[in-house]
Amino acid sequence: MSNRKKVWFEDAERKLDPGLVEQLRNSRKVDQNETSNNEIPLIVYLKKDCERGKKDNLLKVCNIDSHNNLHRELRSINAMKGYLTPDRIQQIKDHEAVDRIFYDRIVTAFLDIASEQTGATNVQEQLGLTGKGVTIAVIDTGVHAHDDLTDPTNRIIAFQDFINGESEPYDDNGHGTHCAGDAAGNGSLSNGKYIGPAPEASIVGLKVLDEQGSGRLSTIIEGLEWCVDHKEEHNIRIISLSLGAPAYESFRDDPLSLAAQSAWHQGIVVCAAAGNDGPAASTISTPAIDPFVITVGSTDDKNTLERTDDGIADYSSRGPTIDKLIKPDVYAPGTNIISLLAPGSVLESQIPEMVIDENYIQLSGTSMATPICAGIIALMLEANPNLSPNDIKSILKATSHPTLDDIWGYIEAKSAVEMAKNYQRQNSAEVVQES
């Protein structure tokens, strides 16, 4: 039996999340004599109903020197973000204002015929719906002002850069631009060949991931909070999240999951990529683990219009979640999807063989399936603006085709939009009867 005395962070119980304990352990291994200068990015949950004086005292303790900085509030999860040294973390872990401390983990982006496959083309042609008047917020690596988003009118109605502070739309990675096109590209430079489900929807681009497609949990949370703050100004009805991180905690404690859930409760439909860690079970990432948000898995349509040969893509993450919840909620095409190219981006230089007709690029992943789902939701909201996020999710699941070997099925745009319109008529009839 070992007589080794536990290090302070190994004996902190739930005060420190497992990811932070691992970072502290690694920091100690690197240099036991200089850990006080090794700042660690983190998120500090405050206790509920924390008094202002206690919070101020915490900030005073944390911001005493240049190596420690707790500065930005994450109000949706009642927390603060910043950088602290191991010594300072040890000092504040039992502070009367602190509930729990999380490592601010790295979040990464998850790396043709899709609109016809989902039935979105039928909706456009037969029902005349294009997503017009609905805004999709793409929280990702940014968005390039591609002609398919700006011609004949500029549908990028807002852009916010949390990485470099730029004011004009750009995308140095390329992932976010592809996702924006997956949802709302109008095929301007391809004579309509590469068109998204909602070719007249508006786009808000939020750059929360850097040139290499990575960022911190706290930055994604700030992006989600920005969407809530500007929801009415830009009519943001949908958030598309083609990003994530491994889930180590229950959705009840996970910072990104809670922030996404908060946006959902503010009336914004949140679509989150399941992740690309399949086919192993229990690989759903955060924030897709949250029971409220719409978790999107990816299919491989074998590049045919028939659904009989389709299947769940091997890379698409499988459930159950860390909380044993059934996920994904719905599946959409995500394999070999051709969408918008951001010129000069990292993706263009890394995979030039995937560039199509100079203005497009072919990618695969649940990253692509998620904005395709978001585009279909834009059609539903154009058909019936009164639908709540819960309504949208119920309709998508009820109308999905059970063609896949999973609990839920393949998204089907026309059935979903028709049910959305019928829902409106049912509500109208009920109002007349009651009056």
Catalytic residues: 140, 175, 367
Instruction: Decide: helix, strand or coil at residue 115.
Output: helix
SS (H, E, C) 90-110: HHHCCCCCEEEEEECCEEEEC
Q: How far apart are CA 90 and CA 87, in angstroms?
A: 5
Please compute, for residue 153, the number of CA atoms within 13 A of its CA located in the half-sphere on the CB side.
8
Region label for 432, one of left (φ > 0), alpha (ψ between -120 and 50) or beta (otherwise): alpha
Region label for 119, one of left (φ > 0), alpha (ψ between -120 and 50) or beta (otherwise): left
Pairing type for strands 337-340 and 360-363 reads antiparallel
- The residues, any chain, with a CB within 8 Å of residue 140's CB and separated by 6 or more, are 109, 175, 176, 179, 180, 205, 206, 207, 208, 209, 240, 242, 243
- How many residues belong to the chain? 435
Which tokens hold the place of 435?
A: 């009056």
Strand partners, 286: 245
Pairing type for strands 106-109 and 214-216 reads antiparallel
Angle between helices 217-229 and 255-265 (to 10 degrees): 10
Tell the residue number behind the tokens 């439909």, with chain if given. 269
The burial of 71, by beta-carbon neighbours within 10 Å (0-12 exposed, 13-18 middle, 19 or more buried), is given as exposed
Q: How far apart are CA 236 and CA 229, in angstroms?
A: 10
Contact 242, 368 (CB under 8 A): yes
CB atoms within 10 A of CB 32: 8
CB atoms within 10 A of CB 64: 12
Query: Of all residues in the chain, what percent are helix, strand and coil, respectively (each to 5)?
Result: 35, 20, 40
Query: In degrees, to the nearest 5, what angle opens at C-alpha 245 toward C-alphas 239 and 246?
Result: 135
